[in-house]
A = this chain, B = another copy of it.
Amino acid sequence: MKPNFSLRLRVFNLNFWGILYWSKHRVDRLQRLGDFLNIESFDLALLEEVWSEQDFESLRQKLLPTYPAAHYFRSGVFGSGLCVFSKHPIQELTQHVYTLNGYPYMIHHGDWFSGKAVGLVVLHLSGLVFNAYVTHLHAEYNRQKDIYLAHRVAQAWELAQFIHHTSKRADVVLLCGDLNLHPKDLGCRLLKEWTGLQDAYLETQDFRGCDEGCTMVPQNCYVNQQELEPYPSGIRIDYVLYKAVSGIYISCKTLKTTTGHDPHNGTPFSDHEALMATLYVRHSPPQHSPSPTHGPAEVSPLIAVLKEAWTELGLGMAQAHWWAAFASCVIGLGLLLLVLLCALVAGGQTGEVTWLLLSPSVGLVLGAGAVYLFHMKEIKGLCKAQAELQHVLRRAKEAQDLSVVSQPAQQEDRAEEQ
């Protein structure tokens, strides 16, 4: 990249809502989305909830002339739903599936089966390395009593860690996706604090779209109006986040959202609104660069949010321990019943009820056993995230203590010089 050179990058993000046999007008919406992406010719289009690989394939075929590079991130039972279409060659790609992602017995919520993940594609543009991430975190079904909160916080942490460890040689980092997190939610703050990513909506010079940048709005005919009742303007849960390394400056010139309907026709592309960002990448930072610099001022909020996340994971762990203990009791009960039934059979008392109860007892032991193992695995996952948080917390505190010690020393030096 030459000095004084400015690179423009147009990015599109949408949670497509592509549940087979469930999402309304899926085929028609996919068709119109393809047409729109072809007309607009973005540099990068990142999609979530493209649950069917056939849908991805048909979109890929349609977009091939405009977006020669594409990838679908496979995971879970159905797939991660994540895919990317790029005008530029994809140099490298990989993905990370989140350790914790809901419960398999919550079939009606379905998140566990999808294998929520984060996908990474690496692009080389004008001599710069671009790491573009796309993700979708666990859905929030009940904000007042959110049983998935700990899992979502753990996912946000894993996402932050994945970006932190895989973007070390990247010049520009871009994260798009449906985080299922409101802007001030713990997961969102944790992600931003640990990665240093900036929110396009908050940073842009020119925003056009839904009030407060919302990406699920009551105007959208596919949205469950009842769920949005407490939020008259809607909610903002889809994001374009970015950062650049020192020496390179990235800014968001414009950010647009769809406003409850297709930009060309009446019906919307999805129950979520699409985000369209125009980013500029330059060499020289402006006078007052908002890019983060290391120092005590930045360490404190990181420490605070790390502590908060640690506590939240602890609450999740207590819940998981309770379920594991409950499952143990059920296993015990089932085994007791089995022993009793076996004793009855051995004693020759083979009544109808004895035989009838035998298989349900075996089922009870096996079912509760599976639940027990699942929650033991959940405990390990939460414990792992807590240990990583603890490590970063310790390092951040050490950095803070060091800077507190060195600051008075510097002041003394300056006084002596004067």
Residues of A within 8 A of B (CB): 71-79, 90-97, 99, 113, 115, 120, 161, 164-166, 168-169, 352, 355-356, 359-360, 362-363, 366, 370, 373, 376-377, 380-381, 383-384, 387-388, 391, 395
Contacts and interface: CB of A to CB of B under 8 A. Distances in A.
Contacts of A99: 75, 97
Contact of A91 (B73, B95, B395): B395
A161 B363 CA distance: 41
Contacts of A169: 168-169
12 contacts: A71-B387, A74-B383, A74-B384, A75-B99, A75-B381, A77-B376, A77-B380, A78-B380, A93-B391, A94-B164, A165-B166, A363-B366
Nearest to A96: B96
B352 A120 contact: no
Nearest to A359: B359
A380 B166 contact: no
Contact of A363 (B78, B362, B370, B381): B362
Contacts of A366: 363
Residue from A360, A384, A387, A388 having most chain B Cβ neighbours under 10 A: A384
A110 to B, nearest CB: 12
B377 A115 contact: yes
Residue from A93, A166, A380, A388 having most chain B Cβ neighbours under 10 A: A380
Contacts of A73: 384
A387 B53 CA distance: 13
Contact of A388 (B94, B164, B362, B391): B94
Nearest to A355: B356
A34 B339 CA distance: 44
Given A78-B380, A94-B165, A169-B169, 13 more contacts: A74-B383, A75-B380, A77-B373, A77-B380, A79-B380, A90-B391, A94-B388, A113-B373, A165-B165, A165-B166, A168-B169, A356-B359, A359-B359
Nearest to A378: B77
A367 B356 CA distance: 19
Contacts of A352: 352, 355
Contacts of A72: 387
A91 B396 CA distance: 11
A98 to B, nearest CB: 10
Contacts of A113: 373
A380 B115 contact: yes
B161 A94 contact: yes
Nearest to A167: B168
Contacts of A115: 377, 380
Nearest to A385: B74
Contacts of A76: 377, 380
> Top 6 nearest A-B pairs by Cβ distance?
A168-B169, A359-B359, A74-B384, A165-B166, A74-B380, A77-B376
A320 to B, nearest CB: 12
Contacts of A363: 359, 362-363, 366
Contacts of A77: 373, 376-377, 380
A138 to B, nearest CB: 17
Contacts of A370: 370
A352 B76 CA distance: 41
Given A91-B395, A362-B363, A377-B115, A165 B120 contact: yes
Contacts of A71: 387, 391
A147 to B, nearest CB: 21
A366 B96 CA distance: 29
